[in-house]
Amino acid sequence: MAIWALITGASEGLGREFAILAAKAGFDVILTARQEDKLQNLAHELQRAYHVSTLVLPADLSDPEAVEQLWLDASAGRQIGVLVNNAGLGRNGSFADETNWPREAASISVNIVAASILMKRAVAHMVGHGSGRVLNVASTAAFMAGPNMAVYHATKAYLLSLSEAVATELRGSGVTVTALCPGATDTDFFAADEAVKATLITKMGLASAETVAASGWTAMEKGKRVDVPGIANKVFATLPRFAPRSFVAWTAAQFLKRRR
């Protein structure tokens, strides 16, 4: 029986790279996001280049019912061997500014609710088959509070915590959960977030999406619990453990401030 990889947020950025890695590894690939034209183009590319089967299931993951339907459609008569919970978004700006709420609320729906639903359905399905791998795309944002991007950081802290806990629950089941925690990466993420002027983006180097996705995919294949790609990001993820929390939040605020 063919084994399928379900990749969320596959229309661009890291998700596109994960879809290519899944096809290269020989999985048939289910692609989901809202932009159907981009998913269809990628599906044709994968079929041509890697001779795999593809299924395009467009969905708005900010709607929990659409997420449940996505899982039903994806898993109908198929074995899902890999879930990459990659779709995500954030909002740069003050929490007190109510105009930020629609996008902040969408980030909670996609980064937390949709990722949790898909992970719950996938893990149950995978345990039933005795094998499977989940890759949750968190962020170095998971390791510290993020003033000026408060909701996004909180969503990624949730996803990291969930991943580590479930990875431990699943020991010995044949199913693994890996949290990928990238630093700033060269995708459209920040343009969509209108955070292009934050110091994080203007002053720091961006990793390539290809490199970051490859790191996460390899970690997932090895069943690693957490992967933080790059030395600077590893330092960034480790230091907060040894500093006062107020200092960590103040430092993060400097990186997340919008520059004029």
Return the residue of 7, 21, 89, 122 that touches ligand NAP, per CB under 6 A. 89
- Tell me the DSSP string of 175-204: EEEEEE---SEESSHHHHHT-TTBHHHHTS
* C-beta of 136 vs 176, nearer to ligand NAP: 136
* C-beta of 11 vs 178, nearer to ligand NAP: 11
Residue 222, classified by CB atoms within 10 Å of its CB into exposed (0-12), middle (13-18) or buried (19+), is exposed
Return the residue of 2, 24, 26, 35 that touches ligand NAP, per CB under 6 A. 35
Partner residues linked to 28 by β-bridges: 4
| 225 contact partners, CB below 8 Å, separation of at least 6 | 163, 164, 167, 177, 178, 179
Q: How far is CA 99 from CA 96, 111, 207, in A?
A: 9, 20, 30
Binders of ligand NAP: how many residues, by CB under 6 A? Answer: 27
The interface with ligand NAP within residues 11-30 (CB under 6 A) comprises 11-15
* C-beta of 131 vs 251, nearer to ligand NAP: 251
**What's the CA gap between 253 and 147, in Å, rounded?**
5
Contact status: 86 vs ligand NAP (CB under 6 A):
yes
The interface with ligand NAP within residues 180-199 (CB under 6 A) comprises 182, 184-185, 187-189, 192
Considering the candidates 27, 71, 152, 217, report the single residue annotated as catalytic.
152
Rg (CA), the chain: 18
Examine the residue annotation and report whether 152 is marked as an active-site residue of this protein.
yes
Contact status: 88 vs ligand NAP (CB under 6 A):
yes
**What's the CA gap between 21 and 37, in Å, rounded?**
20
Query: Which residues belong to the active site?
Result: 152
Residues that bind ligand NAP (CB under 6 A): 9, 11-15, 33-35, 60-62, 86-89, 106, 110, 137, 139, 182, 184-185, 187-189, 192
